[in-house]
């Protein structure tokens, strides 16, 4: 499942650099996670790295973007695949 950052975010800047898919960016008010890039760290790590480092525990599962582990692995494959000429 894709993750999302709640409005309890304090903009501490620790989540963005640990995201292996570059899915986290600063939005108009708080950090945001792009669901099309978030794989819940599947394929990279055993646990979501942003959740591990968040000091206020404001990163939760996004119920609007439910995905199975297989779907997350497929997204990971698509994001990390090198295009061959």
Q: Which residue has the higher pLDDT, 85 or 22?
A: 22
Contact (CB, 8 A) for 38 and 69: no
Specify burial of residue 53 (Cβ count, 10 A radius: 0-12, 13-18, 19+): middle
The answer to whether residue 70 scores a pLDDT higher than 90 is: yes
For domain 3-80, give its CATH number from 3.30.70.20, 3.20.20.100, 3.40.50.150, 3.90.180.10.
3.30.70.20
In this prediction, residue 29 has a pLDDT band, given cuts at 50, 70 and 90, of very high
Check: pTM over 0.85? Answer yes or no: yes
In this prediction, residue 83 has a pLDDT band, given cuts at 50, 70 and 90, of low
Averaged pLDDT for residues 11-40:
97
């Amino acid at each position: 499942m894709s993750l999302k950052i709640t409005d309890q975010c304090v903009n501490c800047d620790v989540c963005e650099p640990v995201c292996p898919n570059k899915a986290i960016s600063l939005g108009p008010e708080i950090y945001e996670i792009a669901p099309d890039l978030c794989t819940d760290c599947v394929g990279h790590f055993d646990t979501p790295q942003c959740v591990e480092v968040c000091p206020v525990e404001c990163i939760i599962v996004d119920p609007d973007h439910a995905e199975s582990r297989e779907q997350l692995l497929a997204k990971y494959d698509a994001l990390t695949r090198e295009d061959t000429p």
